[in-house]
Chain A
């Protein structure tokens, strides 16, 4: 069956939607902060290229119990459902997790466990992680990247890892090492923008419109595709 919904928002065809998923556990949290900064950098880069960025920022801690409930009973709260829907139809995604026990947090994984296997195929994603020490910086590549490779997403080549010490040294001089985090964030925003703007905008549904189900004609199910 043909998908019947309109591609993108007909009133603002130059809008690109970026979903930011942050799995920080406290409030305020450095993970959310990194998520916001990556979002700002991406929004700036998109604006500079003439697009209208629409950022959807989600804090998983606010739906932590909804996520847990959904895992054990397969019922989904409205709030969580809205987040998942927005993430599943985003043009680009920024995902940020704190590092716990040599990997992303359990909350972070639990959220992605609820996303449809095929919903994000080919969607660009920029990764970020925070931790107490710079020694965990490979978590982005050893733990996060495989998760999104599994979802067949376009994972940006360089993620942004922010250790606690990175937050205390930001300065205005963009050439000094001290501003390294800010520069890395800007570059990450540029990278994501490069890829997002090269792809067609993804179809969006009206808020009331459920996701279209795909049908394989029954003859094909019964006899195989070639008959």
Chain B
């Protein structure tokens, strides 16, 4: 959005209505980086950074990303070593809100299963105020099994927890007084979550899942976004899950399938020359707990979106994603991975800023239909709500879901 804003003023335009719409709607696509906060030894030295170093460097990386032209920074949530991603992301994100101007602060992901939805409602609304709306969040169920018992939950209830907890969170942000009773937390009587969301507009939510159709369905039901973090998964899973989400988004009447909100992950390592990138990254790849000791880097780059090579190759590969899932709204990159020194990570960010992002913005804009929504911002959500166009959970009048519900009720009555 700020990119557009600058152009408008530098060229001395006054904001016409269509440009104003653009300004409010923001960029067609947002690009961001996300971290899982892993503390991984550098294979060249055998030494891992201290937790303090890694945490401070995370701040440095986020600020650098903003300067390079990324719109989004997202942090994972972790409760076990070797990770220092925060146990509650708003702790880091609030600090970043004070240290940045334009960056949208997000999560990758917030654990909707083991966190109390009341605390999520409170903490993220607080972050929303501090950041002037520069935030959203991605919900996930986590991939570390023992986190469930550590927080007194049952992993076999993963999906039901995600379903019930998010439903409560959704209501807490939209209803001033909530009466609520469920399976997984104590009931609430006339409960008001504070602070209320900024401008009474709840933060945008992405629902993340690799292969649980229930979560794609959940995102579609509420008219929220769907985040497929495809970093370890084959193309087929990505395509299927996004397709399902898009179909159901249309079924619930929030728009056409191609208008649903999609975010993807990806991971890269670049050098100007492809061969340099391969040589330099290989020892990191081979030794990192998340990559190494399995498929070769050659195979891994074929099977997953990991792209090691020149900026041109990263551009080319990323543009392919559009052919998989259609025009989408957000592309996140994992680049502080595998124990790379912070200096190298910052260089990666510079390469993105100089070469990759401008090219991606230009190419992704080509042929993108006008009716595909831009990446969501607080300003956009505010306008959408004021215009009475906020999605109706489960499908409002005119949606296929609504029709089917009506018909089912009539059939029952007869």
User: 17 A-B pairs, CB-CB below 8 angstroms?
Assistant: A75-B233, A75-B294, A77-B295, A77-B299, A77-B303, A210-B239, A213-B213, A215-B248, A216-B217, A218-B218, A218-B220, A218-B394, A221-B160, A221-B163, A221-B217, A221-B218, A222-B167
B 240-258 to A, binary, CB cutoff 8 A, 1 in contact else 0: 1100100110000000000
B62 to A: closest C-beta gap in Å: 28
Contact check, A73 vs B294: say whether CB atoms are below 8 A apart: yes
**CB-based contact A75/B295 at 8 Å:** yes
Whole-angstrom distance from the CB of A179 to the nearest CB of chain B?
46
Do the beta carbons of A221 and B159 come within 8 Å of each other?
yes
Chain A residues in 8 Å Cβ range of B233: 74-75
Most buried by B among A69, A75, A214: A75
Kindly state the interface size class of chain A when it binds its partner. 20 to 34
The 6 A-B residue pairs with the shortest CB-CB distance in the complex, in nearest-first order: A218-B221, A73-B294, A69-B295, A213-B213, A75-B303, A72-B294
**Cβ-defined partner of A219 (8 Å) among B234, B295, B304, B394:** B394
Question: How many of chain B's residues have a CB under 8 angstroms from any CB in A?
Answer: 31
Q: Is the CB of A73 within 8 A of B217?
A: no
C-alpha gap A77/B235 in the complex (Å):
11
Residue in B167, B213, B295 whose CB lies within 8 Å of A215: B213
Residues of A within 8 A of B (CB): 1, 68-69, 72-78, 81, 210-211, 213-219, 221-222
Q: Say yes or no: is B148 at the interface (Cβ < 8 Å to chain A).
A: no
Q: Contact: B240 with A215, CB < 8 Å?
A: no
For chain B, what secondary structure do more than half of its interface residues adopt (helix, strand, loop), or is it mixed? helix
Chain A residues whose CB sits within 8 angstroms of the CB of B380 once the complex forms: none
A73 touches B159 (CB 8 A): no
Complex: chain A residue closest to B167, CB-CB = A222
Q: How far is the CA of A216 from the CA of B218 in the complex (A)?
A: 10
Q: A-facing mask of B371-411, CB < 8 A → 1, else 0?
A: 00000000000000000000000100000000000000000
Per the bound structure, the CA–CA distance linking A24 and B258 in Å amounts to 48
| B6 interface hit (Cβ, 8 Å) | no
B167 touches A213 (CB 8 A): no
Contacts A74-B232, A75-B304, A76-B303 hold; do A213 and B241 have CB atoms under 8 A apart? Answer: yes
